[in-house]
Amino acid sequence: MKMPTVNEGTTPGAGSPADAMPSNTMPGRGRCCRNHCKQFSLGDLPVGSSARVFSVQAPTAFASRLHSLGFVPGVPLRLLCRNGRGSLIVEILRSRLSLSLEAARAISVRPL
C-alpha cells in the first residue's frame, strides 16, 4: 500500500496542541449551528476555510506522524491552497504543511 506523503513547512515546532484546544462553549448559546456538527475530510474542505481537527483515521505509524505535526483533535487549521496535482497546503499551529490528497482524506475536520 502506498503511504501518503507529508512535507514539513517553514516553521516547525511553533506552538503546541495544548495552546490551540477549543473552549467548552458552543455557538448559538447551547444550541448547535448547522455546520458545527458536520464533519468533513480535510481533502473536501473548500480553499480558504478554517476548521478544527476532529480525528485522524490512518495506519498507526502515519497517524503518529500527523499527530507530531499538530493534527490533534481540537487544533484549528486553515486550508490555504490546493494544486492540480493532488496536494494541498494547510496552515496549522503557525506552520504551513504540504499534504497529499490521500493524507488529507485521512483527517476529519469540523468547520469553524
CB 66 within 8 A of CB 56: yes
pLDDT at 3: 52
User: Model confidence over 63-84: pLDDT tens digits?
Assistant: 999 999 999 999 999 999 998 7
Span 23-35, average pLDDT = 44
CB 110 within 8 A of CB 20: no
| DSSP state string for 39-77 | -EEGGGSPTT-EEEEEEE-S-HHHHHHHHHTT--TT-EE
- The pTM (predicted TM-score) of the whole model is 0.67
Say whether pLDDT at 39 is over 70. yes
Domains annotated on the chain, with CATH: 36-111 (2.30.30.90)
